[in-house]
Amino acid sequence: MIAGHLAGGKLDAQEGVREALPAPLPELRGPFAIAVWNGGTLLLARDAFGQRPLWYAQRGSELWFASSPQRLRALGAPAGQIDRDALSDYLELLYVPAPASIWSGYRKLPAGHLLRAGEHGVEVRRWFDPPVPGSSEKRPSRIAVRARLEEMARKADPAAGVLLSGDLGSSALLGLMTRKHGRVRSFGEPDPVARRVAERFRSAHAEAAVHAVDQAPQVLAGLGEPLGDPALIESAAVFKAAGPVSTAVGADELFAGHPRYLRAARLPHSGRAGRAAGLMATFAPRHHRGRLQRTASAIGTSGAARARALVEVFSLEERRALLGSHARTAEGATAEVDGNADAAVAFDLEVGLPDGVLAGLHAAAVRAGVEVHAPFLDPSLAALVVPPAARHKLGRTHGARMLRDAVADLLPRDVLTVDPRPPPPVGAWLRGPLRPLLHDLLHAPSARIRALLDPRAIDETLRHSSMPRGDARQAWALLALEIWIRENRPQASGVKPQAS
């Protein structure tokens, strides 16, 4: 935890601030958000992949910094109002990409960046250049990838139990750590594949059936800014019953294991078909339009535009209906990538992983009070496996081809081609245990989001997302936002919440 306030060349209220860097930034490994005060100059830096958050606020010659917006408020940094432009980013992606934040007065230091503040003002620049997907035609050998994976496992903490979910990444992590450290702990929800993998490596395996949905309101309310990834709810529930945790987070991004990358590569590119799908969307029933618009965008575009179309929750047209002129397109990857799958990987590495996945993982870990490790997020491993073109990473039906080849001798054949774990069933949640909460919070005229978004568009979204073929993610996004605003907006405006 770090925090501090810089004013008039003097650093006050410092917490966890160093007087010197432990090593040059490129030599640092693992997660960190670091502050260094040296001779009137303040240096803030965030790790290469963004495993630790770092927030700051600037007003004139004053600068506040902390690990969370709650700590910034405690230091007296003015938060401002909810930023409607950033709200558009949330509706598009279910998170707000750095450097923006949901608060107009706060900023987030992007992953792999540093901030230098001194007598010449404030400068933000990149210190870590992430490898560019598709920038190399050469594929590393299976032996080279395996050697780098074993080095990764050697540096992993053997005391941290492996979160085993039955997918390729977590199974490979358990196998590699077992080879390097002997018998290790593993845990997870009941799953036949995970149980079989645990038996294969004789890990001290513990299973716990968690009821994640019961904790959803408490988890969503306690976040620094809204996060709509439902996997956050499951992670918070699982971590609550664990000690130190090692996860396979990052493996899908580094090795191109998401099914979405296959879709990006396999979808045909046709401007005519895209226009036809877009025209169909104007005449289709309302609950089909968003999906048709996203399909039209994906077919009619390529590269970065296609990557975005495959991840957006509310289309630009839907965001305009909710936000009017504040609707915008969120920032994407800075790397110029041509290939469809490579562009999707680049977006995830620069944007989705640090500001979505890792932000949720960190929030879940803080809530559970556990230390979470992500061994796959190693710069040297990324430098080896990210640059090869997508055709080296994607098979006919599955991704992560280089990872599967590298650990083929460790895992059973069916585990090597196991389908990724499906996303949390938000539709079932909203039709079942969360239905009363959805109705009481969002349908009420007193809903907080009705002061930020168009009430008619909210009602239309709720009506159509609840239909059998509607997009339940949209109702979930609005519910998560409402729960967060009810807990956080009164504090930011200085108004104490009234007792109900």
CA dihedral angle for residue 384, residue 388, residue 393, residue 394, rounded to 10 degrees: 160
Q: Give the three-state DSSP class for 66.
A: strand
Q: What stretch of H or E contains 443?
A: none
Give the span between the Cα atoms of 320 and 318, in whole angstroms.
5
Residues 213 and 230: their CA atoms lie apart, in Å, by 9
Tell me if residue 262 falls in helix, strand or coil.
Answer: helix
Residues 6+ apart with CB under 8 A from 208: 187, 188, 189, 238, 241
Tokens coding 283: 């005449």
Alpha-carbon distance 238 to 368, whole Å?
Answer: 9
- Check residue 499 and give its pLDDT: 33
- What was the pLDDT predicted at 338? 84
Domains and CATH numbers, the chain: 3-126 (no CATH), 130-424 (3.40.50.620), 425-492 (no CATH)
Q: What are the per-10-residue average pLDDT scores of the chain (500 residues)?
A: 89 89 87 92 96 95 94 93 96 97 96 92 94 94 97 94 93 96 92 93 87 88 94 87 88 95 85 54 52 69 88 92 95 88 96 96 91 95 97 93 96 89 90 94 93 95 85 95 86 37
Total Cβ atoms within 10 A of residue 39: 6
Determine the 3-state secondary structure of 123 from DSSP: strand
Distances from the Cα of 448 to the Cα of 189, 202, 405, 482, angstroms: 35, 51, 51, 6
Beta strand ranges found along 279-422 (DSSP E): 372-373
Distances in Å between the alpha carbon of 500 and those of 216, 221, 442, 449, 497?
Answer: 20, 17, 17, 18, 9
Q: Can you read off the two tokens belonging to residue 67?
A: 């690990």
State the Rg of the chain over Cα: 23
Give the predicted TM-score (pTM) of the model.
0.92
Residue 166 sits at φ, ψ, to 5 deg, of: 85, 0
Q: What is the per-residue pLDDT for 190?
A: 87
On whether the CB atoms of residues 455 and 462 are closer than 8 A, the answer is no
Asked if 260 contacts 311 with a C-beta cutoff of 8 angstroms, the reply is: yes
